Amino acid sequence: MPTINPTALENDLLLRGVWEGLGTPECHITGGYVRDRLLGRESVDLDLVLPGNIEALTGPARRLAARLDTRAHILGRATKRVWRIECPEIKIELWPLGNLSLDDDIRRRDFSFNALFWQLPDGPFDDRVGGRKDLENGVIRALSRQNLEDDPVRLVRAPRFLAQLEGFTLDPQTVGWISSFAPAVANAPRERIGQELLKLLAAPGAADGLRSLLELGLFEPAAPAAARCDRDWIERNLLAAERLSGSAPHPVAASVRESGDSAGLALLFRAWGLPSHGRAQIAVMPPGPRLSSSMRWRQLMRLPQTSERSSITPGHRFLPLSRCPQPSNPTETGRPGGVCGGSGVKNSYGLTRCLRAKKSPAFWRSNPAPGSATP
């Protein structure tokens, strides 16, 4: 069970500073910041709800932006416009209630633990949907079927939370709702889907998140329209996601950290069958990691097609993923013994080095890893 710190928001100096910077108005904080602080996690994304329309929030928004030495700007359209104040250390969004009551705003949220409201500066909590109980029990529960149908991006958000929040499970009714609406993800905005997938791949439980995407029927609809998904391949290589996200030991962890989002994206692009940068553009990922990943995903084509898992102890220089037969043509991979090397054991040290953005596969082929077979 997750451990909850009920006093985390009472002693939050950041919240008090933001509230004073706004001019001490009536307002509530909700969403991911409340959830993460209760779980003892750090967060720098604040969603504040204030009465009035978007024009009424102009003064508080500009006042806070001036205090942070930045600018406030409006995002969105029509009734979904918000003020955003962003700087390197923090991102704040001011959501106007408009004609909605606080109860209306609470009940239109995606999941119960994101519908917890805390009145600034000293509380109390406003929990009308059982979000705190779900948080204590480690349950991800959608507030309603209609809320998921209204915004299909929320369907992908559930696996992302499974990847980010250790020990959490999906509520059975929520599983049924998500599975029934899964095809709608194909028509959701690619930018927002891409951001959810990036967060999932970067999370400690990336393998659990990918597995949930597959089980809920979201993996194919989340892919770009031109993709040819290789579901079997990603199922066989979920262990790689664990190693790339840091939840399982990796022999070259520094190399993975240096590659940033590129290594995880390469895994995803391989499963989607997006070999070129041009085709990967339709995934609407950040251009740098996208280019790096699409250049290197072909290295993943050399992974042995097996589901066997091998153990690894910290400090190993080579990562034995599986045994595989030797190719009949040793020159297929540019190195004797093919992708497995002379011993027949998969050496992912060279693979990970090929994923690094600053060196090309040709460079690493001419500089083999220590102990590997040499031409």
What's the pLDDT score for residue 323?
Answer: 31
Q: Distance between CA 263 and CA 285 in Å, rounded?
A: 13
Tens of pLDDT, residue by residue over 113-137, are 999 999 999 999 999 999 999 999 9
Position 52 confidence tier, pLDDT thresholds 50, 70, 90: very high
Report the predicted TM-score, pTM, of the whole model to 2 decimal places.
0.75
What's the pLDDT score for residue 45?
Answer: 94
- Those residues whose C-beta lies under 8 Å from the C-beta of residue 356, and which sit 6 or more positions away, are 255, 258, 259
What's the pLDDT score for residue 2?
Answer: 84
Q: Is 60 exceeded by the pLDDT of residue 24?
A: yes
What's the pLDDT score for residue 315?
Answer: 37
What's the pLDDT score for residue 259?
Answer: 60
Q: Is 60 exceeded by the pLDDT of residue 343?
A: no
Helix (H) or strand (E) holding 191: helix 190-202
Nearest residue to 302 (alpha-carbon basis) of 246, 348, 234: 348
Q: Which has the minimum average pLDDT: 70-84, 126-140, 235-249?
A: 235-249
Q: Is 80 exceeded by the pLDDT of residue 224?
A: yes
Q: Which has the minimum average pLDDT: 153-157, 165-169, 276-280, 328-332?
A: 328-332
Domain ranges for the chain, please list them: 13-135, 138-301
Q: Long-range contacts for 75-78 (Cβ within 8 Å, ≥24 apart)?
A: none
Q: Is 80 exceeded by the pLDDT of residue 149?
A: yes
Q: Long-range contacts for 309-312 (Cβ within 8 Å, ≥24 apart)?
A: 309/239, 312/248, 312/249, 312/251
Domains 13-135 and 138-301 share a fold: no
Architecture of domain 13-135 in CATH?
Answer: 2-Layer Sandwich (3.30)
Architecture of domain 138-301 in CATH?
Answer: Orthogonal Bundle (1.10)
Q: Distance between CA 283 and CA 287 in Å, rounded?
A: 10
State phi, psi for 50 to the nearest 5 degrees: -130, 150
Tens of pLDDT, residue by residue over 270-295, are 888 876 666 666 666 767 666 666 65
Q: What is the crossing angle of helices 206-215 and 190-202, to 10°? A: 130
Nearest residue to 5 (alpha-carbon basis) of 43, 30, 41, 47: 41
What's the pLDDT score for residue 273?
Answer: 82
Q: State mean pLDDT over 18-47.
A: 95
What's the pLDDT score for residue 356?
Answer: 37
What's the pLDDT score for residue 278?
Answer: 63
Instruction: Please give the residue that has the higher pLDDT: either 173 or 256.
Output: 173
Instruction: Please give the residue that has the higher pLDDT: either 251 or 9.
Output: 9
What's the pLDDT score for residue 292?
Answer: 66
What's the pLDDT score for residue 233?
Answer: 86
Angle at CA of residue 153, ends 148 and 154, nearest 5°: 45
Q: Is 70 exceeded by the pLDDT of residue 200?
A: yes
Q: Is 80 exceeded by the pLDDT of residue 360?
A: no
